[in-house]
Amino acid sequence: MMILGKLLLGVIGLALATFIGGFISGLDRKITARMQSRFGPPLAQPFYDVLKLWGKAPMAVNAWLVLCAYLTLMASALSVFLFFAQSDLLLIFFVMTIGAVFQVMGALSVNSPFSHVGAQRELLQMFTYEPLIILVIIGIAMHTGSFSIASIYALDTPLLYSMPFLYVALGIAFTIKLRKSPFDISASHHGHQEIVRGVLTEYTGRQLAMLEVAHWLDVVLLLGLCSLFWSTSAIGLFLLLAVTYFAELFVDNVSARLTWGWMIKRALGPGVALAMVNLLWLYAIK
């Protein structure tokens, strides 16, 4: 019965995550527009965009590009399902990584130089944010004694009290994973991207719509990981997520896109250092 309950939670969570992710994307555009003294599109604009893309005539450079779009969406959906089903954090991380890898493989399957440059930069971004997420998961396991999400919900005190530096490292990974400035080097919704849309250049129509929905699900998943740091109070959880996402938007709007070398030096190095300090702290208090 417990297994059936978790499966049901996973299905409900996945269904809600799709709409929540689209709403967050619309809110992202609205807040960004206000920060830039613009009115901005309606909150439902991301849903209109996806429906418009889905209704376009099917057109793809090759079959591999289509397959990779489907697999990317399936991986994002499965990772969100596993999160709401309170599964293993390592399993969720590996599934999420599979989706990102297939998106890159699709971009590399075409002849466009813009797509290739974007794919190579996406791999560099993965090289930067994935070690940070792994260290965060290791820290959670050190504190709870398990990689299971259920073990976190059993805690009496928020993880943030004992893992503040790991939360900062997760915030850095969050910015890179969501391709926010200054780390939007592989693709961007903004006009300052010099390689068109980078890794997304050759995706069109339904394939691009699927990647947009996959991005919504990734946003919800990353916010879900952030929520684990304050799972003892609904109000505290909401405030933590609101402050975190607003900080992401603020950084996105006040930063210019920087190079991949800067990203690796200034994001991976300090992020790993903060994570290691926090891991040593956890080891010392055990």
pLDDT digits (tens, 9 = 90+) for 82-114: 999 999 999 999 999 999 999 999 889 888 888
Q: Distance between CA atoms of 45 and 29, rounded to whole angstroms? A: 9
Phi and psi angles of residue 188, each rounded to the nearest 5 degrees, phi first: -160, 150
User: CA 78, CA 102: separation in Å to the nearest integer?
Assistant: 14
Residue the block writes with tokens 């466009």: 112
Tokens of 203: 């995706």
Nearest of 44, 50, 48 to residue 73 by alpha carbon: 50
The pLDDT value recorded for residue 190 is 59
What pLDDT, in 10s, does the model give residues 199-212?
888 888 899 899 99
b (16+ CB within 10 A) / e for 29-65:
bbbbeeeeeeebeebeebbebbeebeeeeeebbeeeb
Q: In the chain, which residue ranges form alpha helices assigned H by DSSP?
A: 2-35, 45-54, 63-84, 89-108, 113-144, 149-153, 164-177, 205-227, 234-254, 260-263, 269-285
Mean pLDDT of the chain: 89
* Domain extents in the chain: 2-285
Query: pLDDT tens digit string along 52-79?
Result: 999 887 777 788 888 999 999 999 999 9
Task: Give the tens place of pLDDT for each residue, 11-46.
Answer: 999 999 999 999 999 999 899 888 888 888 899 999
> Cα dihedral angle (21, 27, 29, 32), rounded to 10 degrees?
-130
In which band, very low, low, confident or very high, does the pLDDT at 187 lie, cut at 50, 70 and 90?
confident
Work out the pLDDT band at 191, boundaries 50, 70, 90. low
